[in-house]
């Protein structure tokens, strides 16, 4: 009996899942294509047919992470959102526990020393901002807030701290102070709006 031929998407998903497993275990810079090939159970030619290197796989993984956030639906496209919804979305980015967040922390840790990872980060930010604009197009959040670089960097700084300091009890400490984090974000947004209205 012949086995069912997997679709392109299924094969790519198989490779991505293998890469995710290896990267989370060994770290990005210690992961090789050979590691991914072995973990995937596919042939060398089969894997290279879809991906030329680890960076390509990693970008697709991280892009899926953004789609995951949309599906979880912190932000349902088509619903009307306000400032409270936006802040809740930012908090979910920081506090929601999932493998994509661990991968994103790995990306953030690598952008200062690897130009290709920096390029991936910039591409993902473009996609992320596009998701925000589509989600809030009928809301009362200004485009200036959605595009604000400080808010993005601030959120990502908290995210990497939440993940990286887990061995020291960081997650518990962050969770205990979640309301403080929310107040900090709201304080910045209100100050941002005040300066804009001057």
Per-chain mean pLDDT for the chain: 88
Provide the sign of the torsion angle of the four alpha carbons 56, 102, 159, 97, taken in this order: positive
Distance between CA atoms of 128 and 147, rounded to whole angstroms? 10
Which of residues 108 and 77 earns the better pLDDT score?
108
pLDDT of residue 192: 87
Question: Quick one: average pLDDT of 43-62?
Answer: 97
Predicted confidence (pLDDT) per residue in 114-147, tens digit: 999 999 999 999 998 988 888 787 777 888 988 9
pLDDT of residue 177: 97
Q: Reply yes or no on whether the pLDDT at 81 is more than 60.
A: yes
What pLDDT band is residue 89 in, cutting at 50, 70 and 90? confident
Determine what percent of the chain is predicted with pLDDT higher than 90: 64
Q: Reply yes or no on whether the pLDDT at 77 is more than 70.
A: no
pLDDT of residue 33: 98
Distance between CA atoms of 94 and 162, rounded to whole angstroms? 7
Reference 62, options 103, 91, 18, 92; nearest CA is 103
pLDDT of residue 72: 59
Contacts of 114 (CB under 8 A, 6+ apart): 29
pLDDT of residue 1: 37
Q: Reply yes or no on whether the pLDDT at 2 is more than 50.
A: no
Contact between 39 and 49 under an 8 Å Cβ cutoff? The reply is no
Question: What pTM did the predictor assign?
Answer: 0.86
Contact between 22 and 1 under an 8 Å Cβ cutoff? The reply is no
């Amino acid at each position: 009996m012949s086995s069912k031929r997997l679709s392109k998407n299924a094969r790519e998903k198989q490779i991505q899942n293998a890469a995710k497993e290896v990267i989370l275990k060994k770290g990005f810079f210690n992961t090789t294509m050979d590691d991914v090939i072995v973990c995937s159970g596919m042939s060398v030619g089969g894997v290279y047919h879809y991906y030329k290197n680890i960076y390509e796989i990693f970008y697709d993984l991280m892009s899926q992470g953004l789609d995951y956030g949309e599906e979880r639906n912190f932000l349902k496209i088509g619903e009307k959102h306000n400032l409270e919804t936006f802040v809740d979305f930012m908090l979910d980015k920081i506090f929601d526990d999932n493998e994509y967040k661990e991968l994103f922390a790995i990306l953030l840790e690598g952008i200062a020393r690897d130009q290709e990872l920096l390029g991936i980060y910039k591409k993902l930010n473009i996609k992320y901002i596009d998701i925000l604009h589509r989600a809030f197009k009928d809301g009362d959040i200004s485009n200036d807030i959605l595009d604000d670089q400080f808010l993005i960097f601030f959120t990502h700084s908290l995210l990497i701290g939440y993940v990286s300091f887990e061995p020291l009890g960081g997650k518990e400490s962050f969770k205990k102070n979640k309301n403080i984090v929310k107040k900090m974000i709201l304080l910045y947004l209100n100050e941002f709006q005040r300066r804009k209205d001057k």
